[in-house]
Chains A and B, each alone.
Chain A
Amino acid sequence: MAMVVLVLTGCNFDSAKETDSNSNKNKETSEGKQVLNMVEASEIPTMDSAHAHDNVSFTVLSNVNEGLYRLGKEHKPELAMASDDQISEDGLVHTFTLRDANWSNGEPVTAADFVYAWQRVFKETGHYASMFETASILNATEILEGKKPVEELGVKALDEKTLEVTLAKPAPLLGQLLTFPTFLPQNQKFVESQGKKYALEASNVIYNGPFMLSEWKHDTSWKYKKNPDYWDADNVTLAEINVFVVKEAATQLNLYETKEVDSINLSSASVDQYQDNKDFMSIADSEIFFLRFNHNHKALGNENIRRAIDMSWDKKAHVETILNNGSLPLYGLVPKDFSSSPDGKGFRELNGDFNHGTIKEAQKYLAKGLEEIGQDSVKVTLTVSAVEGNDKTAEYLKSQIEKNLPELSVDIKLVPVEQRYELESAKEYDMVISAWGPDYIDPMTYIGMWVTDGSANRMDYSNTDYDALVEKINNENDPAKRYQMMLDAEKMLFEDAAIAPLYQRGLAVLQRSNIKGLVRHPSGPDFSFKWTRIEGK
């Protein structure tokens, strides 16, 4: 076995040398050119859009490929591969006209590429096949249930450049959803010619987006190059983006210091040291953390007790002293800076804070709740897994709740994250610290969680009025009315004090000040590089 090691060592040595000369070349050419160096904490799990289900894959796929729509600078959907989207009067049929655009192997991008890719998601049992259901594509539900063959999916190529998408019901969010990487096209001839190797290496994929993946060294780095054949190439400035896989936050910081990389996320340990730095910025992220209450629990099934718990602790002090990483206190379901109404007002600003009360009020609610269930004191378990410092959050919650509401005692149960999901699904918990990142940029990605028996509910919350309202929102085509109903739905959720929001994650970022137009999206891909440029070069 040691022999094997020796032989392998020999092999590796050569490849290391080879890459060495490459990297020297990089340094020579990067002088004065539009080159951006980034870090990512993980390898690209997959380059196959049918399987992609994580932010790293989403980011790469959205920058090297393009669907009918693309997320714009302001995170609104913009026509991309499609130059036109004609909607039938009943809102059920969308006819897309495709641009004259080519794949990186010279083949034209056709309507058939979309039909093939979309059906393939079902054939390959992709993670996000459910996205077609969310987008109300005709027959998606029936295909998932195995009641109809995949060929009956509501997507048809009328001719080479015309794609017809049929919906089960009008979908006001269709454009937004179509930016999601699961809806990217794939060229049947190319995918089939690659067989099992498809999307495993940079050379086993073809591209139709602003950039191409020109190099992919697994678990080490990858490199984007500008795609000269991209239809909108004139508006793409960056020539090259290098992404290095660096898992350790302290190492990322050291590489920022040595100027190997241009943008990193700081861990909370380094925030104090760098917050006066000119490169420092704090960015609101859209992942929310909240307490799920088990609504079958005798005490936590009581609305007043839930409200008392939500009001009993200091959310602001928590993000400032315990987390200290740019996170924001959360007093609602939909996070700040995530979505705005048709007339441009933020969702959070419109609905304001919920259950943002005083300790006195909390005590009053608790007394009322205890009387209702006929108990003097209550003991609950708080389930938590030690990710993102949530174990510390749990300690803080326990101390605050027990101090401010002496009738309540809290036991912390620390479990691995995978087990937490299982306990949540089985509803074997009293309270649990949960997180939710949005699937698309619309409040529905949060509001839809709480319908009776929804797969993200996992706490047996059930309010028939709420279910009916969500159903109505899903069938409403007027954007303003729809937005108002979503605001109402959130209100209803907090009238029930169904959950207790904890905080909205924030990012503490160090980024070179000459980088302009690096767009960070609240959902789907983390970044768009299409509009990024480096000033002074």
Chain B
Amino acid sequence: MKGYFAKRLGYMLITLFVIVSITFFLMQLLPGTPFTDPEKLSEQQLELMNEKYGLNQPVAIQYVNYVRSLVTGDLGISYQYEGRSVNEILSERIGPSALIGFQALVFGALAGLALGIISALHHNSFLDYGSVTIAVLGMSIPSFVFAALMQYFIGVKLGWLPAALWQGYEYTIMPSLALSVTVIATVARFIRTEMLEVLGQDYILTARAKGISEKAVVFRHIVRNAIIPVVTMLGPLAVAIMTGTLVIEKIFSVPGLGEQFTKSVLVNDYSVIMGVTLMYSALFIGVVFIVDILYGVIDPRISIKGEHKL
């Protein structure tokens, strides 16, 4: 077990290093300078500024310098927010993104689970068609459309929840709900399909034949077996949420990471681009790792002991 963890950790670090290196060199190909409003800078002023920020050095040296400070945990100083450290920007911005992402994932998974179970247990009934319709809508309509509609109807017309801004817990509800729509739909569809398959298995027949209560059959045998593919879905879903936040955050004015990422790319804020890329990659790799571990917990057939794996 320990060996497996160490090995996975090693691979994760190598992957991150490769991502950092590739991003660093690709970023150098972006046109322009990291200084906003270049239209107003004379060539002389630009030279002075390049010198101050070490941008007149060869790319290789800049790369070595970057990696060197990265190892000590220093992500550098932002260009668009003069003097502010990237570490500080990221730690401030990740909170709101993580909060709405986490709420969306938990709520979406639970709601999807409930919807999928109801749908499968009442196969081909009115309830089933209803939940399938919801799922299809949720899959096919992008979350930002829901976001805009919710903002207008719930926020402006009904006034039940604040339309936007970030001033307290009630401000997190609509962005989380908007983000969770995809999760609900995906999870519901998967659970339904899996449950229908499990329902037809011989061991369910056996369990029922043994006279186990219906509740026990459903939860111990059907749901537990049906849930495995959902766990495999959580990884990609978490990633979908991370990318989904880019738009949702902008619509609801959430001071999160997603908007920061797109903006930093647009204005060539090199150090922030690197920092956010690193963070997203680490999150993604981390999620994949956790999902791998969860398999073992949920499905006893999958073991993570053996060195023969991987």
Which A positions have Cβ atoms within 8 angstroms of B? 1-2, 4-6, 8-9, 11-13, 15-17, 19-24, 43, 45-46, 48, 51, 53-54, 125, 127-130, 144-145, 196, 198-200, 217-221, 244-248, 250-251, 254-255, 257-258, 260, 415-419, 421-422, 425, 435-436, 439, 455-456
Q: Give the Cβ gap from A223 to chain B, nearest Cβ, in Å.
A: 12
Neighbour of B286 across the interface among A1, A54, A436, CB < 8 A:
A1
Q: How large is the interface on B (under 10, 10 to 19, 20 to 34, 35 or more residues)?
A: 35 or more
Specify which chain A residues have a CB less than 8 angstroms from the CB of B152 in the assembled complex. 254
Contact indicator B163/A419 (Cβ below 8 Å): no
Inter-chain contact A422/B31, CB cutoff 8 Å: yes
Residues of A within 8 A of B156 (CB): 254, 257-258
A21 to B84, CA, bound (A): 28
In the complex, the chain B residue whose C-beta lies closest to that of A250 is: B148
Task: Give the most central of B253, B255, B283, B286: most A CB within 10 Å.
Answer: B253
Pairwise interchain contact A251-B151, C-beta atoms closer than 8 A: yes
B241 → chain A closest CB, angstroms: 11
In whole angstroms, how far apart are the Cα atoms of A103 and B31 in the complex?
A: 43
User: Which chain B residue has the least Cβ–Cβ distance from A415?
Assistant: B31
Whether B163 and A258, one on each chain, are in contact in the complex, defined by CB atoms closer than 8 angstroms, is: yes
Contact B32 A422 (CB under 8 A): yes
Chain A residues contacting B48 (CB-CB under 8 Å) are 125, 129, 144
Given A46-B81, A422-B31, does the pair A54, B36 have CB atoms closer than 8 Å?
yes
CA distance A242 to B258 in the complex (A): 24
| Residues A251 and B163 in contact, CB atoms below 8 Å apart | yes
Closest residue of B by beta carbon distance from A436: B39
15 A-B pairs (CB sep. < 8 Å): A9-B95, A9-B98, A16-B169, A16-B172, A17-B168, A23-B168, A125-B52, A130-B45, A196-B83, A220-B255, A248-B250, A254-B163, A418-B30, A421-B32, A422-B32
Bitwise interface map of B from 21 to 58 toward A, beta carbon under 8 Å scored 1, else 0: 00000000011110111111111110011011000000
Partner of A418, one of B38, B89, B102, B260: B38
0/1 string, B148-177, CB within 8 A of A gives 1: 100110011001001111111111100000
| Least CB distance, A258 to chain B, in whole angstroms | 5
Does B285 sit at the interface, judged by CB under 8 A?
yes
Query: What would 16 more interface pairs be, CB under 8 Å, given A53-B40, A436-B39?
Result: A1-B282, A12-B98, A12-B99, A125-B48, A127-B37, A127-B40, A127-B45, A129-B45, A129-B48, A220-B166, A221-B166, A248-B251, A251-B163, A258-B156, A260-B165, A421-B39
Min CB–CB distance A342 → chain B (angstroms): 28
- Shortest distance from the beta carbon of B31 to any chain A beta carbon, whole Å: 4
Task: Please give me the residue from chain B that is nearest to A246 by CB atom.
Answer: B253
Q: How long is the Cα–Cα vector from A64 to B168 in the complex, in angstroms?
A: 27
**Partner of A51 from B83, B148, B251 at Cβ < 8 Å:** B83
Check if A199 sits within 8 Å of B83, measured CB to CB.
Answer: yes
Q: Within 8 Å CB of A22, what residues of B?
A: 167
Q: Are A51 and B82 in contact (CB under 8 A)?
A: yes
> Contact between A254 and B44 (Cβ–Cβ < 8 Å)?
no
- Given the known inter-chain contacts A46-B83, A421-B39, please indicate yes or no for A247 contacting B253, CB distance below 8 A: yes
A455: shortest Cβ distance to chain B, in Å? 4
Interface secondary structure of B, over-half rule: helix
Q: Is B138 an interface residue (CB 8 A)?
A: no
How far, in whole Å, are A220 and B39 apart by their CA atoms in the complex? Answer: 28
Q: How far is the CA of A350 from the CA of B290 in the complex (A)?
A: 72
Query: B204 interface residue, CB < 8 Å from A?
Result: no
By beta carbon, the residue of chain A nearest B45 is: A130
User: Which residues of the other chain, A, contact B285 by a CB distance below 8 angstroms?
Assistant: 1
B180 CB–A CB distance under 8 Å: no
Q: Report Cα–Cα, A163/B212, bound state, in Å.
A: 94
Provide the residues of chain A in CB contact with B36, threshold 8 Å: 45, 53-54
How far is B205's CA from A404's CA once the two chains are assembled, in angstroms? 80
Listed residue (A45, A221, A425, A456) with the most chain B CB atoms within 10 angstroms of its CB? A45
Q: Which of B32, B43, B252 contacts A419 (CB 8 A)?
A: B32
- Bound together, the chains give a CA A199 to CA B83 distance in angstroms of 9
Are B259 and A48 closer than 8 Å at their CB atoms?
no
B230 CB-CB contact with A under 8 Å:
no
Report whether A5 and B283 are in contact in the complex, using a CB–CB cutoff of 8 Å.
yes
CB distance from A40 to the nearest CB of B (A): 11
Report if B92 contacts A (CB, 8 A).
yes
B165 touching A247 by the CB < 8 A rule? no
Minimal Cβ-Cβ distance residue in A for B83: A200
Cα A220 to Cα B38 with chains together (Å): 26
Query: Given A144-B44, A218-B92, A436-B39, do A9 and B82 touch, yes or no (CB 8 Å)?
Result: no
- CB contact under 8 A between A20 and B44, given known A53-B37, A456-B39: no
Q: For B49, give the chain A residue with the smallest CB separation.
A: A125
- B94 at interface by CB-CB < 8 Å: yes
* Chain B positions within 8 Å of A128 at CB level: 40
Closest A residue to B78 using CB positions: A45
Name A1's closest neighbour in chain B (CB-CB). B286
A16–B84 CB distance below 8 A: no
Q: In the bound complex, do residue B268 and residue A19 qualify as a contact, i.e. CB atoms below 8 Å apart?
A: no
Residues of B within 8 A of A221 (CB): 165-167
B98 touches A8 (CB 8 A): yes
Assess whether A8 is in contact with B94, with CB atoms less than 8 Å apart: yes
Residue pair A219, B45 in contact (C-beta under 8 Å): no
The answer to whether B80 and A45 have CB atoms under 8 Å apart is yes
Instruction: Identify the closest chain B residue to A22 (Cβ).
Output: B167
Contact for B35 among A1, A127, A251, CB less than 8 A: A127
A255 to B163, CA, bound (A): 7
| Nearest opposing residue in chain B for A146, CB measure | B48
| Cross-chain contact B255 with A218 (CB below 8 angstroms) | yes
B residues near A130, Cβ cutoff 8 Å = 42, 45
Query: B100: shortest Cβ distance to chain A, in Å?
Result: 10
Residues of B within 8 A of A16 (CB): 99, 166, 168-169, 171-172
Measured CA separation A12–B172 after assembly (Å): 11
**Nearest Cβ distance between residue A196 and chain B, in whole angstroms?**
7
A117 to chain B, nearest CB (A): 15
Q: How far is the CA of A219 from the CA of B264 in the complex (A)?
A: 13
Residues 231-270 of B contacting A (Cβ, < 8 Å): 250-253, 255, 259-260, 268
**Docked CA distance A139–B67 (Å):** 41
Instruction: Please determine whether A251 and B253 come into contact, CB atoms closer than 8 angstroms.
Output: yes
Q: Are B286 and A2 in contact (CB under 8 A)?
A: yes
For A17, list chain B residues within 8 Å (CB): 168-169
